[in-house]
Structure 1
């Protein structure tokens, strides 16, 4: 069946099933030409680079990561100047990627390059995905691990590997009388955080930045933090996905969330309105030692005009009191898979494949990915990233610590995440109970999985 004829079915399934969410912008989505835009229509904010010569095809990239918008716009401009191929980059605003993708794919001039977050996301869009098997970019992958397949077809390619954990201001930590070597478990983290809180007025800073539950920030807790109890349950049960999460480690999830909200820059009742920018700015202003976020934040914290140097920062694992914590690494993986729209014209498909390959193989492309975007890319010509958080992950892995896998791509739907997020917000505000969080987590998972199976 032609994919265009099944668009309404795909859109309905996508609304019911898992949506992209994650990093920084990782849980990004809604269209904007800059990372701070609040526009909701892609066509009103798309930034395209004009071709300097006639080209056989064109590229329209619907970007998932708002924090890299400017870098993508610059890279697209360079490519157009070099090749004459027009490249349009539209960046989806935080939390709106799937909605924007659905809207844009329904248009006659749809994206030629888009993203899915893994198997759940691919299930919604596989009818639109060009088979990348045998392409130049597929041949440059360092491992088939980063190929997203449906049977024998390669329908997506992971283009960035990222890590998240507790970004740590080592200078403030030392002012509190500790070093990163003092924190190797949840109990250690709890001891340090509660001591900082007890001396907050004396020290002039808090343990944690605000665990904001605004839509620009809540993905850090309903997705990234929620990954930890899922990961450890999967490890214990020897599985990599499930239609019925048991919630084995939800008490540990509660303990780490309680630690965040009771030892932060604000009262828990204020979290519903706290944004991602609030949390980042608190960290930038030396108001807190720990900031749960990922390697994608590096360029927002270090560089021209930024207050930190590499020597000031590191990233610690998110300990929740489970497993071999002495040998636990950062949460490392990807939920960013490039897909090419097979409904585009042959010229546009070829132009898109050429652009993708140039991004991950040319000097300009690989340097921009490493230096401007802070990415580690799984391709043969990758440039080593200067990102201090990437280096921390490499050091931990080299020391034998086990990275925590990104299992949140198996979460059944965006609706499930929103249910967990609402329950967490009410719990923090004192208007809901932890039992409500458990219900949203366990029962919500089962009901959303059932809807997916029926779709």
Structure 2
């Protein structure tokens, strides 16, 4: 497959100011009134969904759209950690996805030839800023559909039971002090500091990708860059410090992490077995569905002992870009664009996206009730600087897997931290070279 030059226009730089540009006003009118025109449409939509946690919501909204318009919408959700593999398999089938996702410039490099140019589409025209468009030369190959935040989700009531408040945690040293004190009194308190940092495929992305973003971010900040062919690893000692804190103050022993899943961590937190849980704004609906309430929840930054911690916000950005399959029929391409336009303009579509996915960068975006998104907004309004999502520049999925395997072995005591450093630094250089 030929590779094309990829340009993402100002996505990270504008994220903090543009994130909320479209979320102050609610969509007006009823769903049918805001819908894209589908009269006489003969196409169909097949969406290969990236987010397992949103599968039920996508199935429901797809059914509603079909009932309203008569256009068939099929949503298939890839298992966690298998999206690229699933897309590779599905895209060559006769009934291939008409709608899929890439995670940014690196992901687009693999799929640019399958991306329909959305530049003149009704979907593109609904964006609040073209900084949320993913460009391939002059073509709009993808459109960001959600801006999300992640950090350390905190049970504020358990924290208070341990004798602390959110104001007591303003740095890595503060977090370490609180976590280790909770561990020392774990039997007395009846809960742990952190949920399990599972390295099963349903959970390891939280650490080999999202947590790994922190040392990359701070190195990029130092150098004034937004991508690199060789990472130096200047902040890997900070990465080690936060990883050690996670695995040594958790609900399970470090050696057990290889078999711990994403569901394990979510259930531990929802069952009030731990105070802290690294995850993102997409988890809000899952936790509230399990009975947690806003008065016991908050999201704080992931402090690693680097940068200006007193002015650090949450990790905020996107790796979620919709792409329409250029190999689909004209009817299916138009049906897919119509469906997406309805998703970002109708009451039903914008409500689903704002409640189940997060802040959406579209003109008619519904405001959100997601507490973690509101936490991010409060940090930003208070002058805190969001940590940008630089993990979209990681050279390959193989690089992530190498880091993940090294982290797992280190936690189990069968590998050293030097192995993690080698996977991070040498693995970056070799994988970058292989992909370029």
TM-score by length of 1: 0.87
Aligned equivalents of 1:114, 1:169: Cα separation in 2: 35
1:313 aligned onto 2:297? yes
Please report how far the alpha carbon of residue 364 of structure 1 lies from its aligned counterpart in structure 2 after TM superposition.
Answer: 1.1
CA distance in 2, matches of 1:336, 1:369: 13
**Superposed displacement of residue 374, structure 1:** 4.0
1:54 CA displacement: 7.7
Deviations 1:180-204 (A, max 9, x none): 0000000000000000011111100
Do residues 281 (structure 1) and 267 (structure 2) align?
A: yes
1:307 CA drift (Å): 2.5
Counterpart for residue 424 of structure 1: 407
- Inter-partner Cα distance in structure 1 for 2:121 and 2:313: 34
The residue aligned with 2:330 is 346
1:250 touches 1:438 (CA, 8 Å); kept in 2? yes
Residue 429 of structure 2: aligned partner: 446
| Counterpart residue number, 2:204 | 218
**RMSD of aligned alpha carbons:** 1.4
What is the aligned counterpart of 2:342 among 342, 347, 358? 358
1:163 and 2:163 aligned: no
Please state whether the residue corresponding to 1:416 is helix, strand or coil: helix
What is residue 126 of structure 1 aligned with on the other side? 112
Greater mean alpha carbon deviation, residues 350-359 or residues 54-63:
54-63
1:204 aligns with 2:190: yes
Give the ranges of 4+ consecutive aligned residues of structure 1 lying more than 4 Å apart after TM superposition. Answer: none
CA distance in 2, matches of 1:161, 1:257: 26
Tell me the distance in 2 between the aligned counterparts of 1:301 and 1:266.
21
**Correspondences of 1:53-64 after superposition (within 5 Å):** 55-64=41-50
Match of 2:398 in 1: 415
Alignment partner of 1:435 is 2:418: yes
The equivalent residue for 1:227 is 213
**Could you tell me which of 279, 282, 304 is aligned with 1:296?**
282
Partner of 2:313: 329
CA distance in 1: counterparts of 2:63 and 2:150, whole angstroms:
30
Structure 1 alignment gaps of length 5 or more: 1-5, 14-52
Which residue among 366, 371, 376 is the counterpart of 1:388? 371
Q: So what's the TM-score if we normalise by structure 2?
A: 0.91
SS of 1:302's partner is helix
After TM superposition, give the deviation of residue 70 of structure 1 in Å. Answer: 0.6
Render the CA deviation track for 1:4-47: whole Å, top value 9, x for unaligned: xx5xx89xx9xxxxxxxxxxxxxxxxxxxxxxxxxxxxxxxxxx
Helix, strand or coil: the match of 1:194? helix
Within the alignment, does 1:254 sit opposite 2:240 as a pair?
yes
More relative contact order, 1 or 2 (CA 8 Å, 6+ apart): 2
2:48 is paired with a residue whose SS is strand
Q: Kindly indicate whether the alpha-carbon contact (under 8 Å) linking 1:54 and 1:85 is maintained by their aligned counterparts in 2.
A: no
**1:54 and 1:84 in contact (8 A); partners too:** no
SS in 2 for 1:88: strand
Inter-CA distance 214–61: structure 2 relative to 1 (3 Å threshold): same
Query: Which residue is equivalent to 1:403?
Result: 386
Residue aligned with 2:368, SS:
coil
Tell me what 1:179 maps to. Answer: 165
Matched, 1:89 2:72: no
1:29 corresponding residue in structure 2: none
